[in-house]
Structure 1
């Protein structure tokens, strides 16, 4: 049976044809070399069966990458690592704020901003020079769920309420230049269509094309702490509770690993992995 004849089950329950091309591209983003990628592709291809889940394919590829090099596995698990920022949406808001901060913005997470009708708690307020952004984050803890049109509709109404107050007060400096909607999953076609029509900037896992969340993270080396394959879940949750949401932040606050009782030898392995992730 040819590879393209295998049906696989996505996390949403949708049945699609297996794509060797998509799997190869996801492995390339991990930084693995061509011989390693071809070995993993051959192994996974030999283990395919009708109705295999994308989760099973991911787990197999992840295990094979981890045997090669932990940093490859860390990059490969990026999407899953962002889900691990849950179960609440607050760590994701801090993550988005940190990504914008490392992109040159001054950011505040969870700021109350007055609107004409009611005040609004904005997930992230970001400023760079004269640019002023209000950013709303929509975190989904379940794989396969998408942001439908209701999300940008709701956020657009809040954004307009903030703009209207400051226009009425002739306070140009306080009028946001752009309203953003950021999600860790994907937007439906209707959501993207409404966002573009209404003038909202939509940022998801793979939107805009070649400048989605995954592209920005890879380009800037701004990986969430949850990508680490060497830290255990308890340690990750401790770091998140201390506002360490990016791997880069841990390099500046290494003492947290001492606080967790991490041995010197293991600490060096963790830090080496993070430096490779962040291209330092």
Structure 2
């Protein structure tokens, strides 16, 4: 049977045809060379069967990449690593804030802003020059859950309430001029259509095209701490609890690794991976 004829099971429960191109592209994004990609493709293709889950394909490809080079595996697991920021969603808000901070914004997390009708706890507030952005983050810790139109509808009404409270303010006061919705999953077509119509900026895993979360992270080298294949889950949770959400932050906060009792040899391996991943 040709590999194109295999049905695979997505995390949403939907069956789709296996795409060799999608697997090749995701492997290439990891930075692996063509020879490594071809070897992994051949191995995975030989192990396909009807109804195999995308999770099983991912796990196999990840294990093969990790054998070759840990930094390839770390880059490949980006999407899964963002899910691992959960379950509360707060580290995801900090992660979104950190991405904007490295883009030159002044950032506040969990700020109370008064609306005309009620006060609102805003996930992320970002300011730079004339930009004053109000950001709501919608984090899903389970794969296969998308953001439907109800999310931008609800957030747009909050944003409008905040704007109405600025109507009678002083002339020199900076007024919010952008409302964002950021999710680690995807938006439905209706959600995107509403966002465009209402003037909300929507940012998801792969939207806008070529400027989604995955593109920004790859471009800026701003990988979450959870991509690491060298740190244990316990160590990652400890670092997240100390507000270390970006892998590159470890460069300036090495004493956390000392606090965790990580050996000098292992520490050097971790730092090497950080430098390889984070555009240094």
Range of TM-score over shorter length: over 0.9
CA contact (8 A) 1:166 1:172 kept: no
Cα distance in 2 between the residues matched to 1:269 and 1:224:
17
Residue-by-residue CA offset, 1:18-49 (whole Å, 9 max, x unaligned): 00000000001100000000000011011000
TM-score (norm 1): 0.99
TM-score (norm 2): 0.99
* Stretches of structure 2 lacking an aligned partner (at least 5 in a row): none
Residue-by-residue CA offset, 1:190-246 (whole Å, 9 max, x unaligned): 111111100000000000000000000000000000000000000000000000000
- Which residue is equivalent to 2:231? 231
Q: After the TM superposition, which residues 35-50 of structure 1 pair with which residues of structure 2 at under 5 Å, given as runs?
A: 35-50=35-50
Are 2:110 and 1:110 aligned?
A: yes
- Which residue is equivalent to 1:19? 19
Q: After the TM superposition, which residues 174-193 of structure 1 pair with which residues of structure 2 at under 5 Å, given as runs?
A: 174-193=174-193
Give secondary structure in 2 for the equivalent of 1:12.
coil
Residue-by-residue CA offset, 1:120-171 (whole Å, 9 max, x unaligned): 1100000011211011000001100000111101100000001111023355
Number of equivalenced pairs: 280
Q: After the TM superposition, which residues 95-244 of structure 1 pair with which residues of structure 2 at under 5 Å, given as runs?
A: 95-169=95-169, 171=171, 173-244=173-244
CA contact (8 A) 1:7 1:18 kept: yes
Q: Measured at CA, do residues 172 and 11 of structure 1 come closer, stay the same or move farther in structure 2, by a change above 3 Å?
A: farther
Q: CA RMSD in A?
A: 0.8
- Which residue is equivalent to 2:272? 272
* Runs of 4+ displaced beyond 2 Å: 168-174
Cα distance in 2 between the residues matched to 1:172 and 1:147:
37
Cα distance in 2 between the residues matched to 1:41 and 1:85:
29
* Stretches of structure 1 lacking an aligned partner (at least 5 in a row): none
Q: CA deviation at 1:17?
A: 0.2
Cα distance in 2 between the residues matched to 1:8 and 1:32:
24
Give secondary structure in 2 for the equivalent of 1:226.
helix
